[in-house]
Structure 1
């Protein structure tokens, strides 16, 4: 038996195995199994209880099943450490039906492996009482299996909830206030996790958004609800105060929130980084950022700084007027940005595209260096 198998077995060994000189901590006992096969092949192993032998055979069957479904040795080992009960489950009656269910719904082997490794509890939950009802509930709301799979891939943990009692009341609150089904399903598909909150807290967020003047018929209403739902009142107040420090009035902050609720979901560091760049580096008035609140939502490294560099070059060469097309400059897709703001100036600044790409690479390299130990 390989060291890997013995490691898996040890993680699920019954207490009787510890009577043979093992530490009571399975992780401390790894050294005993990694040195030789004495536990498995020695004469003493003959006296091990029959349930230990059954566990041995069951564990090998579980490992084989997972391997056949595309799990690597390291992934199986990690699952055994995080959810050791998986290794002692019946592979044919409990584990295989769940893996085959995901397969029947169109998930590829790599997608199933990714789903299980991110949320191992999907293998420990009941297929008929939890997984299938959750899948069917999401599909009933979204209207298609494809959209359901998209939602599950974005948050596999949703399969572990009783959605009729957790998500259902919150969907009903939105319907009662006039939010279209299409907006509800759109957000459930993109952000399923955001629906998992108490109906009391959810209703308070809906009421606050309504008081702010959002139109329930528009998607921004739902976005605003979940922006508020994601933070406490004190966190909201801290972010408002953070914007106020940059010279914005409370009315300007509310205006920014109505235009783009995600501007309040950004972290304080992100808010301060964006405001510092636009106000101090580019000389913008704070109200200009409030009028284009999407600016705060973008990545400082991947979008704001590289495009800000191009913007400053074009303004310094008098090729564009200051603040002309300001929102489009930062809001446009990467391809549109190049087509509209770089390619038209090839003759005057032939190296501009290369400089822009270099700026992107430099910032990405800098970010990677900060991540590395």
Structure 2
């Protein structure tokens, strides 16, 4: 049977029009004799020898396939998957994830689904990806109508597959009863189609959540004071997607105390950078200690420039701040630069503006900056 698996998975049908079952029958006749009427089909051995599962995986999967009496249907399913271009490793992972996929009818279910998805414009490799990511949904004919709805929502098959990789369960949600009401709630908040697609990629569970849960999330985002319909409202929704109202209140209070903000200042900061809420308390404490205690920045400044609190402290903020501190101390800055501007610019712009012009005056600056970005912060940047 191992030889059969190798044949199946390395000789897919030559064209979309070629049905996998006749090809499988030819392989079967050359690979091994059929199971005799009196013998018992060993499901666990089949999963190991033919599907490539480990013995532990096969033991677990076999409990869901105890009704199988013959390899005929599983063989046809394997040939179908080979026709999609799945490798032996892909097939093993799919079967381990959803053993009942081997029970799907090729003629009755899988082939019509393949035809339907091809009709939607999906390539064979994309269809294979859908099968790998969401095998349970794939073996239901409703997957065709579901993808027909989701493709325009995500704007491309590539984006849809990224969303499916993050959260496979939305494909099994009812578009009419669940998804469309949620999308309508977002539209009522002034979120445009492109931003809805981006939000669904960032928070794909939105598509399968109960509308009541989405309403709670919208209420939490509203409490931040971010105007509905603004470009930042999508980020506010992403920031609060895993927070209850109680956790949100506690997080806001922590930020207020950590950065010594007034009520007005914490409101300003959250409206400008709601994604601060996704950072851990320990991370925000470290940023407060560095930016306020060590660099001497005012709390009010950070409230009006909270982007500094959303960037990597060790990989970006600290190294750049130390470069500027060094340049100021040695009279090498020809104009006033705010720290907010310094941490926001791209890496290329930062190097071209603050490192390259000082190669002669500070020949070690580039080396020290690179070391700082790797977390090897020198006690002091060397001047000569």
Query: Structures share a fold, TM > 0.5?
Result: yes
Q: Displacement, 1:123?
A: 2.4
| Alpha-carbon distance in structure 2 between the residues aligned to 1:302 and 1:275 | 16
Matches within 5 A, 1:152-167: 152-156=161-165, 157=168, 158-167=170-179
| Alpha-carbon distance in structure 1 between the residues aligned to 2:152 and 2:41 | 53
Q: Displacement, 1:169?
A: 1.8
| Alpha-carbon distance in structure 2 between the residues aligned to 1:96 and 1:110 | 15
354, 366, 370: which one aligns with 1:353: 366
| Alpha-carbon distance in structure 2 between the residues aligned to 1:362 and 1:211 | 37
| Alpha-carbon distance in structure 1 between the residues aligned to 2:346 and 2:127 | 32
Q: Deviations over 1:257-284 (max 9, x none)?
A: 1011111122334333433432344343
User: Which residue matches 1:238?
Assistant: 250
Q: Displacement, 1:225?
A: 3.2
Asked if the contact 1:137/1:164 (under 8 Å) is kept, the reply is no
User: Which residue matches 1:150?
Assistant: 159
Matches within 5 A, 1:215-234: 215-234=227-246
**Distance change in 2, residues 1:201/1:193 (3 Å):** closer
Q: Displacement, 1:3?
A: 9.0
Q: Displacement, 1:316?
A: 3.7
81, 85, 94: which one aligns with 1:79: 94
- Pairing 1:90–2:105 present: yes
User: Which residue matches 1:63?
Assistant: 78
| Alpha-carbon distance in structure 2 between the residues aligned to 1:266 and 1:174 | 25
Between structures 1 and 2, the one with greater helix share: 1
**Distance change in 2, residues 1:30/1:174 (3 Å):** closer
Q: Deviations over 1:325-371 (max 9, x none)?
A: 312222222223223333333333344334434444567xxxxxxxx
Q: Displacement, 1:107?
A: 5.5
Q: Which moved more, 1:156-165 or 1:113-122?
A: 113-122
311, 320, 332: which one aligns with 1:319: 332
Q: Deviations over 1:197-223 (max 9, x none)?
A: 332233344345445543223121233
Q: Which moved more, 1:226-235 or 1:109-118?
A: 109-118
Q: Which moved more, 1:220-229 or 1:251-260?
A: 220-229
User: Which residue matches 1:282?
Assistant: 295
Secondary structure at 2:69 match in 1: helix
| Alpha-carbon distance in structure 2 between the residues aligned to 1:340 and 1:104 | 53
- Pairing 1:248–2:261 present: yes
**Distance change in 2, residues 1:121/1:315 (3 Å):** farther
Asked if the contact 2:272/2:306 (under 8 Å) is kept, the reply is yes
Asked if the contact 2:302/2:308 (under 8 Å) is kept, the reply is yes
275, 289, 303: which one aligns with 1:262: 275
User: Which residue matches 2:147?
Assistant: 135
Asked if the contact 2:239/2:274 (under 8 Å) is kept, the reply is yes
**What's the TM-score once normalised by structure 1's chain length?**
0.70
Q: Deviations over 1:276-313 (max 9, x none)?
A: 43234434333333222222322345433443443443
**Distance change in 2, residues 1:212/1:190 (3 Å):** closer
Q: Displacement, 1:92?
A: 4.7
Q: Displacement, 1:5?
A: 5.6
Asked if the contact 2:113/2:144 (under 8 Å) is kept, the reply is no
User: Which residue matches 1:2?
Assistant: 2
Secondary structure at 1:284 match in 2: coil
Matches within 5 A, 1:9-28: none
Q: Which moved more, 1:86-95 or 1:256-265?
A: 86-95
118, 123, 139: which one aligns with 2:138: 123
Q: Displacement, 1:83?
A: 1.1
| Alpha-carbon distance in structure 2 between the residues aligned to 1:59 and 1:316 | 73
Q: Displacement, 1:98?
A: 4.3
Asked if the contact 1:255/1:290 (under 8 Å) is kept, the reply is yes
| Alpha-carbon distance in structure 1 between the residues aligned to 2:174 and 2:75 | 33
Q: Deviations over 1:52-105 (max 9, x none)?
A: 22xx23323333332343333233222222211112222454335545655665
**Distance change in 2, residues 1:359/1:119 (3 Å):** farther
